[in-house]
Amino acid sequence: MKSGKILKQVLLLAGGVIMLMPFLWMISTSLEQGGLQNYVEAWTRVPFGTYFLNTLLVTSLTLIGVLITSSLAAYSFGTMEYPGRDKLFLLFLSTMMVPQPVYLAPSYVLLAKLGWVDTYLALIVPWTTNVFSIFLLRQHFMTLPKSLYEAARLDGCSRFGYLWRVALPLSKSVIATIMLFNVIGSWNSFMWPLVVTHSEKLRVLQVGLSYFNQEQSSNYQLLMAASTFSILPLLILFLFAQKHLVASYSRSGLKD
């Protein structure tokens, strides 16, 4: 029994070292030769500050959009009864079955027709709603007892007031899950911004890092420094929210 426990620990430790190794190599290489100066050098060689601000802007605005549109839609789908509701919900769900690469080219053509290519609109507007978030929130709203709604209405609460003052405050955990999934999703999204923007001033972090990688392919120290600071914000978020995040992933069984 005892030796079994030790073997377990040895195996897990060895696995953990293998999993961590790329990160350790990344950090140690980023500090070679120039030390912390490498970080300053990487940050200033291309406008990483702009990339960060763009990513921050896109991530926060899409998140606000997702929270507003999802709460409203989930409230309607989950608590109201009206003709066509289930068909509309099915229309929403059906789009989840189609992966992004399948409609990437027509999306680009559409954005070109709208004159949105290479604008913030293209980076933000199409992602201001998220069907999976609507789905999660709808499932939760459906569990709220009807008596709660009736009581609130008797107290003079409006329909919207119930959503804002009663339903949403009771959904903090689901909303945290939605926020985490969407922040990670937009922060890491690559294919879409790569396709819909061209100019450097609109570049987001992931696209900027990939260009930096092509331009500086032999400058390992700078590349590893840039990788480190582009990972850092989500890493910090992960360390703070990991319990909730891991639980959300295992409950919902869905990857970005």
Partner 1 sequence: MRTGRKVTPYLYILPALIIVICFRTIPILASFTASFADYDIGGFHGFVGFANYERMFTDARFWNSVSNTVFFVLGVVPAGIAIPLGLAMLLRGELRGKAIYRTIYFLPVVTSAVAVSVVWTWLFKPEAGPINGVITALGGDPLMWLREPRGIFEMMLSPLGIHPTGIFAGPSLALVSLMIVSVWKSIGYNTVLFLAGLENIPNTYYEAAKLDGAGKWGTFRHVTWPLLSPTTFYVLIMSTIASFQTFALVYVMTPPPGGGPLGTTNVIVFYLFQKAFDRFDIGYASAISVFLFVVLLALTIIQRRVGERRVHYS
Using the rule CB under 8 A, give the single segment among 10-18, 38-46, 142-150, 168-176 that binds partner 1.
10-18
Q: Is residue 250 classed as helix, strand or coil in its secondary structure?
A: helix
DSSP 82: -
User: For partner 1, which residue of 2, 146, 172, 255 counts as binding (CB under 8 A)?
Assistant: 255
Tell whether residue 143 is a contact of partner 1 (CB under 8 A): no
User: For partner 1, which residue of 38, 54, 76, 177 counts as binding (CB under 8 A)?
Assistant: 76
Tell whether residue 179 is a contact of partner 1 (CB under 8 A): no
Tell whether residue 8 is a contact of partner 1 (CB under 8 A): yes
User: For partner 1, which residue of 36, 40, 104, 151 counts as binding (CB under 8 A)?
Assistant: 104
Tell whether residue 246 is a contact of partner 1 (CB under 8 A): yes
Alpha helices in the chain (DSSP H): 2-30, 37-45, 48-79, 85-96, 100-114, 120-124, 131-143, 146-154, 159-162, 172-188, 191-196, 205-215, 220-252
C-alpha closest to that of 186 among 59, 56, 54: 59
Tell whether residue 91 is a contact of partner 1 (CB under 8 A): yes
Tell whether residue 223 is a contact of partner 1 (CB under 8 A): yes
Size of the site for partner 1 (CB under 8 A): 84
Helix 48-79 vs helix 172-188: crossing angle, to nearest 10? 140
Return the residues of window 35-64 that contact partner 1 according to CB under 8 A. Answer: none
| Cα distance between residue 249 and residue 253, in whole Å | 5
Shortest distance in whole angstroms from residue 134 CB to partner 1: 6
Shortest distance in whole angstroms from residue 55 CB to partner 1: 10
Tell whether residue 242 is a contact of partner 1 (CB under 8 A): yes
Is residue 50 a contact partner of residue 58, using CB atoms and an 8 Å limit? Answer: no
User: For partner 1, which residue of 1, 2, 3, 97 counts as binding (CB under 8 A)?
Assistant: 97
Q: What angle (nearest 5°) sits at the alpha carbon of residue 48, between those of residues 42 and 197? A: 135
Tell whether residue 234 is a contact of partner 1 (CB under 8 A): yes
Strand (E) or helix (H) holding 190? none
CA 196 to chain centre: 18
Shortest distance in whole angstroms from residue 195 CB to partner 1: 6
Q: Which is nearer to partner 1, 96 or 151 (CB)?
A: 96
Tell whether residue 9 is a contact of partner 1 (CB under 8 A): yes
